[in-house]
Structure 1
Amino acid sequence: MMTNVADNRAGVPMESQDEVLVDREDGVLVITINRPHARNSVTRSASEGIARALDELDVDRDLTVGIITGAGGNFCAGMDLKAFAARGEDPSLPGRGFVGLTEALPRKPLIAAVEGYALAGGCEVVLACDLVVAGQGAKLGIPEVKRGLTAAAGGLHRLPERIPRNVAMELALTGDMMTAERAYQLGLVNEVTEDGQALIAAKALAARIGGNGPLAIVASKRVIVDYPTWSTAEIWERQREITDVINASADAKEGARAFAEKRPPRWQGR
């Protein structure tokens, strides 16, 4: 059921209640930026709503995967420049970054379902996600330089981690956009769909993930995200600190039993 993220949260201003919508279904939390009149550019209150939804994803044992998308045919055009120009409004949250995500990644997998424009902060949200599905008409880029700004929500270091350095440099210095197909060729996008089908495909991808052991999913993401900060000497020890407890868990034993008995596993998350 699609709900307003503020329905059961105290302290959210009434005017922001429809800026973020949340849908829970079959262990998947879909977060929709709901400002289509402004190409889903993000206000401070929208960032706060998304942050609360991401917290819900991480703490709710019934949720395995998150999806973030935008309403009305666009993903997100970054911060609301009108609010920035008029009031100096900063949509980044202390310690968490843009939309409460770019500096504080969730423990659980997060998929970006991209239609239309994913620009500036919107592209940086995509870069903070673990997997990306995009409609064929989607366009991604960090055009901040065109407005005398810098892509300070992760674009300048995550983009060259995800695509070749020279291509990332070109995008950062020119502010030009790239198509979904080009992003797919470079490995930034996992799947390109017909326009209007990105969310459907993202839900199908989430279902493929969600059928697996929840503890193993979180641990696998953690190793992939954390290992670049480990030295060569410590990589195996640091990995074992995360994976040994998972491989000795009740879920690991259940997975083996289910395989032997030719039945779907019944995960308990322990």
Structure 2
Amino acid sequence: MGGTEHVLTERVGATLILTLNRPEAKNAFSPAMLVGLYDGWLAADDDDGIRSVVLTGAGGVFCAGMDLKALAGDGMADDTHRDRMKADPDLHWKALLRHHRPRKPVIAAVEGPCVAGGTEILQGTDIRVAGESATFGLFEVRRGLFPLGGSTVRLQRQIPRTHALEMLLTGRPYSAHEAERIGLIGHVVPDGGARARALEIAEQINACGPLAIEAVKASVYESAELTETDGLAHELAHGWPVFGTDDAKEGAKAFAEKRPPVYRRA
């Protein structure tokens, strides 16, 4: 399943778990982490046996954002990751879900700090769970920087604009409960329980028809900025073909026979 020294990969049933694994640096992004993330997204896209992805962090930390020294190559023993990034100048944006949207649902399981680039990659995920001591925020303006991971575009589309602007312009930290209140995350659980809750949600997704799941996700994102009329036409284009699949027939048959469906992506 791949991975790098800074991204651990694990398979639990039909769920791929990507774990940011640089806790000594609060899981700050490094070339090895970005390459590992991008390879993980591609693996999920390419493997029909994977129906969902959980993104989490090691050591009770989600991600503290970008590590500028690591990205410059300081102290790296292996230049392989840097060479990958040079060969694909867009790789870091794809890894951070700015220029890539996985076709499978992505669930974030957040513990501890999820700030700066951590809050930015969070906005590329679909469902978000956090431990009650998790913290969020876009700190870039406090350092005279700009949040280039997509936040000035995405955040106002995901939470009310007044909250988006406050987060972007103050650079202050947000607690998990405040992040839930403004709609940035969907669930707050006891500390240490985010991964387990994310896997529970993943299992619910995995039990559904995979073709239907992927069509629903695509329709939601692709119609988000369309007019209602255009969006409804787009929905038909994604949804109507699902009804002609063997999986749709299996779903109805399983319901009638009072048994769990067996979906085959057909």
* TM-score normalised to structure 2 length: 0.91
Query: What's 1:82 paired with?
Result: 69
1:257 aligns with 2:253: yes
Out of 99, 106, 110, the position equivalent to 2:102 is 106
Give the drift of 1:100: 4.4
Query: What's 2:77 paired with?
Result: none
Paired with 1:164 and 1:237, the residues of 2 have a C-alpha distance of 27
Paired with 1:224 and 1:199, the residues of 2 have a C-alpha distance of 25
State, as a whole percentage, how many aligned pairs show the same letter. 38
Paired with 2:252 and 2:264, the residues of 1 have a C-alpha distance of 14
Query: What's 2:79 paired with?
Result: none
Give the drift of 1:96: 6.0
Query: What's 2:121 paired with?
Result: 125
Paired with 2:134 and 2:252, the residues of 1 have a C-alpha distance of 41
Out of 6, 9, 12, the position equivalent to 1:25 is 12
- Amino acid aligned to 1:210: N
* TM-score normalised to structure 1 length: 0.89
Out of 159, 165, 173, the position equivalent to 2:161 is 165
Contact conserved, 2:103 with 2:218, CA < 8 A, in 1? yes
> Could you say if the C-alpha distance between residues 96 and 244 of structure 1 is closer, same or farther in structure 2, counting changes exceeding 3 Å?
farther
Q: Secondary structure at the match of 1:30?
A: strand
Q: Secondary structure at the match of 1:42?
A: coil
- Amino acid aligned to 1:234: D
Paired with 2:202 and 2:95, the residues of 1 have a C-alpha distance of 21
Equivalent positions of 1:137-176 (< 5 A) are 137-176=133-172
Contact conserved, 2:136 with 2:175, CA < 8 A, in 1? yes
Unaligned runs of 5+ in 2: 75-81
Query: What's 1:10 paired with?
Result: none
Paired with 1:44 and 1:86, the residues of 2 have a C-alpha distance of 8
Deviations 1:137-185 (A, max 9, x none): 0001110111111111111121111222111111111110111111111
Unaligned runs of 5+ in 1: 7-16
Query: What's 2:60 paired with?
Result: 73
> Could you say if the C-alpha distance between residues 178 and 166 of structure 1 is closer, same or farther in structure 2, counting changes exceeding 3 Å?
same
Q: How many residues of Structure 1 are paired with residues of Structure 2 in the alignment?
A: 256
C-alpha RMSD of the superposition: 2.0
Deviating above 3 A after TM superposition, structure 1's stretches of 4 or more consecutive aligned residues are 84-87, 89-93
Out of 33, 38, 48, the position equivalent to 2:25 is 38
- Amino acid aligned to 2:251: G
